[in-house]
């Protein structure tokens, strides 16, 4: 089965053709990255890319907020994003009309989790969470074997967090919330607080201790509410190798031995990095296509 996969982001649109062999094997046959400009021209370029690729369906894993309710008049739209030009933008419709194939649609983070759940480190599990810590922060959630959508879809990156004692004065980078996870711990928040990009702060332990404090606080909340069997962390900020061990230490400290499961006793295998070498997003989008085939 040959499908199209689109990982739709605010900076770039990754378009790919993925071939599944029906035995659990997959291959990314082709891939391009198209810079995200205004919707009309960007979508037109992507439609042209997919047009002659002989794909049976397309999956779109998209930045949000998005409308996932099939019976809504704005199903398949990006809704209230601050990204210039993209609010109230129909992203599913043009592909469905122009390509004449079924289109699957979910959040970017649900997509990445589907990649991990079908082909990566969450395979075989019914309850897992994928968190991206990048330009924004978001979480994809699988619960009892299904992706969680609910009223809208989870916006777990906007969880309110308690301030680190040495971070009381920092002005949150989220225009909506004075002390949310994304506002305090996203890549741009790190840059705003410390005056340099994360990649240039690798040798400053205090940066990563504070980052781990915030990420761990969010993870403990997800653990308490969602009871996941695996927590996967991806996104640009997680490319700092010292961060994951610090996060595990902080989760252990903050959870304070209250939950005693085999997973909590073995945090190295419970809280892990993305396992598909940054292909989880595109594979997840391909899984969204397979769902509608
Ligand atoms: P996006 O979220 O836009 O899809 P990324 O997941 O790559 O893209 O996240 C980009 C953010 O991650 C930027 O704020 C960038 O500064 C930060 N980032 C990227 N690489 C690193 C790194 N090696 N160390 C720390 N921060 C990084
Ligand atoms: Zn927020």
Domains 2-111+278-292 and 123-273 share a fold: yes
Beta-carbon contacts of residue 260 (< 8 Å; ≥ 6 apart): none
| pLDDT(277) > 90 | no
Q: What is the C-alpha separation between 111 and 126, in angstroms, rounded?
A: 15
Beta-carbon contacts of residue 290 (< 8 Å; ≥ 6 apart): 1, 3, 20, 57, 59, 104
Q: What is the pLDDT of residue 218?
A: 99
Provide the H-helix boundaries in 132-242.
181-185, 187-194, 205-226
pLDDT digits (tens, 9 = 90+) for 205-218: 999 999 999 999 99
Q: What is the C-alpha separation between 32 and 42, in angstroms, rounded?
A: 13
Residue closest via CA to ligand 1's atom 20 equals: 236
- Dist. CA 99 → ligand 1 center (Å): 33
Beta-carbon contacts of residue 74 (< 8 Å; ≥ 6 apart): 67, 88, 90
Cβ atoms of 157 and 137 within 8 Å: the answer is yes
Binding pocket residue ranges, ligand 1, CB within 6 Å: 9, 11, 134-136, 187-188, 197-199, 235-237, 239-240
Beta-bridge mates of residue 33: 14
Q: Which atom of ligand 1 is nearest to the CA of 186?
A: 14
- Dist. CA 134 → ligand 2 center (Å): 14
Q: What is the C-alpha separation between 33 and 56, in angstroms, rounded?
A: 21
Q: Which CATH class is domain 123-273?
A: alpha beta
Number of the ligand closest to the Cα of 160: 2
Assessment of whether the complete model's pTM goes beyond 0.85: yes
Q: What is the pLDDT of residue 229?
A: 98
Q: Which atom of ligand 1 is nearest to the CA of 9?
A: 4
- Find where tokens 């649609």 sit: 105
- Dist. CA 240 → ligand 2 center (Å): 23
Residue 270 — φ and ψ, nearest 5°?
-95, -45
Tokens at 102, concatenated: 């079924």
> Measured between alpha carbons, how far is residue 199 from residues 171, 184, 208, 216 in Å?
21, 17, 11, 20
Q: What is the C-alpha separation between 154 and 158, in angstroms, rounded?
A: 9
Q: What is the C-alpha separation between 99 and 47, in angstroms, rounded?
A: 7
pLDDT digits (tens, 9 = 90+) for 223-271: 999 999 999 999 999 999 999 999 999 999 999 999 999 999 999 999 9
Residue closest via CA to ligand 1's atom 13 equals: 187
Q: What is the pLDDT of residue 104?
A: 98
- Find where tokens 């989008």 sit: 285
Ligand 2 is an ion; residues with CB less than 5 A from it: 158, 174, 176-177, 180, 183
Q: What is the C-alpha separation between 16 and 279, in angstroms, rounded?
A: 11
Cβ atoms of 166 and 210 within 8 Å: the answer is yes
CA terminus-to-terminus distance, the chain: 9
**Secondary structure letter of residue 275 according to DSSP:** S
For range 180-202, the mean pLDDT: 98
Q: What is the pLDDT of residue 278?
A: 83
Q: What is the domain partition of the chain in residue ranges?
A: 2-111+278-292, 123-273
Query: Is CATH 3.90.70.10 the right assignment for the domain spanning 2-111+278-292?
Result: no
Q: Which atom of ligand 1 is nearest to the CA of 135?
A: 2
For range 161-168, the mean pLDDT: 98
pLDDT digits (tens, 9 = 90+) for 90-147: 999 999 999 999 999 999 999 999 999 999 999 999 999 999 999 999 999 999 999 9
Our CA angle for 229, 187, 190, nearest 5°, is 110
Q: What is the C-alpha separation between 179 and 168, in angstroms, rounded?
A: 10
Number of the ligand closest to the Cα of 278: 1
Q: What is the C-alpha separation between 21 and 11, in angstroms, rounded?
A: 31
| pLDDT(292) > 90 | yes
Q: Which atom of ligand 1 is nearest to the CA of 11?
A: 3
Beta-bridge mates of residue 52: none
Cβ atoms of 66 and 107 within 8 Å: the answer is yes
pLDDT digits (tens, 9 = 90+) for 34-84: 999 999 999 999 999 999 999 999 999 999 899 999 999 999 999 998 889
For range 184-200, the mean pLDDT: 98
Tokens at 182, concatenated: 């994304």
């Amino acid at each position: 089965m040959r499908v199209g996969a689109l990982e739709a982001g605010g900076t770039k649109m990754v378009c790919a053709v993925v071939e599944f062999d029906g035995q659990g094997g997959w291959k990314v046959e082709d891939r391009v990255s198209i810079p995200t400009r205004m919707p009309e021209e960007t979508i037109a370029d992507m439609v042209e890319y997919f047009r002659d690729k002989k794909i049976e369906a397309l999956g779109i894993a998209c930045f949000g907020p998005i409308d996932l309710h099939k019976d809504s008049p704005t199903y398949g739209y990006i809704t209230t994003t601050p990204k210039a030009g993209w609010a109230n933008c129909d992203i599913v419709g043009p592909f469905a009309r122009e390509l004449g194939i079924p289109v699957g649609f979910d959040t970017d983070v649900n997509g990445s989790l589907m990649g991990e759940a079908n082909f990566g480190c969450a395979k075989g599990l019914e309850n897992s969470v994928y968190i991206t810590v990048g330009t924004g922060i978001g979480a994809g959630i699988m619960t009892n074997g299904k992706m969680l959508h609910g009223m809208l879809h989870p916006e777990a990156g906007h969880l309110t967090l308690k301030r680190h004692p040495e971070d009381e004065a920092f002005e949150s980078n989220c225009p909506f919330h004075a002390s949310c996870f994304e506002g305090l711990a996203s890549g741009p928040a790190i840059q705003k607080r410390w005056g340099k990009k994360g990649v240039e702060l690798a040798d400053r332990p205090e940066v990563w201790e504070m980052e781990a404090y915030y990420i761990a606080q969010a993870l403990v909340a997800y653990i308490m509410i969602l009871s996941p069997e695996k927590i996967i962390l991806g996104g640009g900020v997680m490319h700092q190798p010292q961060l994951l061990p610090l996060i595990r230490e902080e989760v252990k400290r903050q959870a304070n031995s209250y939950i005693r499961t085999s997973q909590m006793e073995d945090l190295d295998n419970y809280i892990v990095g993305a396992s598909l070498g940054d292909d989880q997003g595109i594979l997840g989008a391909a899984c969204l296509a397979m769902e509608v085939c």
